[in-house]
Structure 1
Amino acid sequence: MSLSQQVAAASHILGCFFISQGYANVRYVAGERTVNGQYQTHAWLGWDGWIIDITADQFSDGPSAMFLERDSDFHRSFARDYECEPVISNCIAAQNQKFLSTIKV
């Protein structure tokens, strides 16, 4: 699995976790940009005006490993080319909720 696929998977899984905890309108966001001639893609979550990003530290100009802010020059540097509900949320939300209630998270 490529790094970009891992980032996408991490964002989808985190989004599904938030949905399973009752958060509504969690969005998976993907963007692209070119920096010094290098094409780059990235993915993160959006929720109620917040940017949630656990993989931005892979970029030299990215924020810390766990990023939670309402605005970001770094994230604005990506042209958003895709936004959706976390893909696997509909498939696993019920099962995930059952699991989480079992372990009382």
Structure 2
Amino acid sequence: MAPFAVPESKRSIRQNQYEFTLPGGKKVYRIPKAKFLPVGIIEKFDGGQKNLSIADVLAMFEGGDKAALDAIRTLDSEQLQALTKDWQADSGLTVGESEASTDS
């Protein structure tokens, strides 16, 4: 019997990506929606930590391209909070719900 071949990730398909722009900018940045984040990143948040560091929040967006992550790093905390909230809504997540809990 042949081993199971894991299918390619669909995170690079545009419909599976969240798009955003920076204030006053026209460049569109893309990061994967929550469902398409690497398991290693989801694992960090599955423990239900209440106090996440800024590094933890940035780790959620590591699945995007480097330009998107660099753009996110230019935001202030209020802007990052707004981006994160909209990304969660676009990904179909609600506050306090981890990706793992949406699969059950």
TM-score normalised per structure 2: 0.33
More helix, by proportion: 2
More strand, by proportion: 1
TM-score normalised per structure 1: 0.33
